[in-house]
Amino acid sequence: MPNETVVIVSDVHLGAAPEATAAAFHRFLESVPDMARHLVINGDLFDFWFEYRSVIPRRAFPTLNVLHRMRRAGVRITMTGGNHDRWGGPFWHEELGASFHPEGTRLDVAGWRTFLTHGDGLTESLWASAMLHRLTRWPPTIWAFRLLHPDVGYRLVNLMSRSLADRNRDPAVQARAATDQATFAGHYLSANPAVDLLVLGHTHRPALIAFGERRWYLNPGAWVEGMRYAIVTPDGPTLASMA
């Protein structure tokens, strides 16, 4: 039943995704109220998001409009920050009615005790990604970026994003990251018996691994690569795709 179902999606990268992929994602969002009453976006909804005190990205408006209609239809929205869009703030709650967690959160997902986090910084193998992970969380960096005019800031980020994206799309890098992430998941679930379901993203590789009875690691994969998502019901998680 929709009231017992949660839809999870990650790594949409709107702003860098092709227009057709973005349009398909908006159609997907429009269909969520028929599938579930809770949508989880586990990081990197946008290829970049930085919340200034009085400015939001113009190109995000179509997506925010669809999400607002979902909230008015009664769908709960939980968002975690990813390495591309962690710098959110009160906008998500005050203007959209969504729950935003920059570094992840624990919550009940269809009856499963769940820890959600995007997954960046946990198993980074590229030195540039590891350095960027630390730098973007450093308060002076965030303060300094806020002083830039938004047009300048976004142009700078777009240049950096393309360079890092090219490295991270290497199939060998993705495969190694997915393996390391699964290893991390096994250790995490072993050390945290109060968690039934660990949900990660970031690697763009879908995964659904059982680590014992009612113990799962889930990565829905990347919407931007295959229109992938996951569904969680009281019976457990499953992987899905609109491709």
pLDDT in tens, 142-182: 888 888 888 888 787 777 666 555 555 677 777 888 899 99
CA max distance for the chain: 52
Report the relative pairing of strands 76-80 and 38-42 from DSSP bridges: parallel
CA distances from 105 to 119, 135, 173, 223 (A): 12, 22, 27, 21
Q: What is the pLDDT of residue 63?
A: 95
Planar angle of CA 171, 183, 44, nearest 5 degrees: 55
Q: What is the pLDDT of residue 88?
A: 83
Per-residue model confidence as pLDDT tens digits over 60-105: 999 999 999 999 999 999 999 998 888 888 899 999 999 999 989 9
Contacts of 33-37 with CB under 8 Å at 24 or more apart are: 33/2, 33/70, 33/73, 33/74, 33/75, 34/2, 35/2, 35/5, 35/7, 35/231, 36/2, 36/5, 36/6, 36/7, 36/75, 36/231, 37/2, 37/3, 37/5, 37/74, 37/75, 37/76
Q: What is the pLDDT of residue 59?
A: 86
The DSSP result for 99-152, as a single string, is: EEETT-EEEEETTEEEEE---TTTS--SHHHHHHHHHTT-HHHHHHHHTS-HHH
Q: Mean pLDDT: which of 39-43, 126-130, 160-164 is highest? A: 39-43
Per-residue model confidence as pLDDT tens digits over 3-23: 789 999 999 999 888 899 999
The ranges assigned to domains in the chain are 2-241
Q: In the chain, at which residue ranges do the beta strands (DSSP E only) sit?
A: 6-9, 38-42, 76-80, 99-101, 105-109, 112-116, 197-199, 207-210, 216-219, 228-233, 236-241
Per the CB < 8 A criterion, the answer to whether 46 and 88 are in contact is no
**Residue range 203-222: mean pLDDT, rounded:** 95
Q: 125 pLDDT exceeds 70? A: no
Architecture of domain 2-241: 4-Layer Sandwich (3.60)
Q: Please provide the size of the chain in residues.
A: 243
Averaged confidence pLDDT in the chain: 88
Bridge partners, residue 112, by sequence: 109
Give percent of the chain above pLDDT 90. Answer: 59
**Residue range 130-152: mean pLDDT, rounded:** 77
CA distance 110 to 117: 17
Per the CB < 8 A criterion, the answer to whether 199 and 219 are in contact is yes
Per the CB < 8 A criterion, the answer to whether 86 and 136 are in contact is yes
Report the relative pairing of strands 99-101 and 76-80 from DSSP bridges: parallel
CA distance 68 to 76: 11
This prediction has a pTM of 0.90
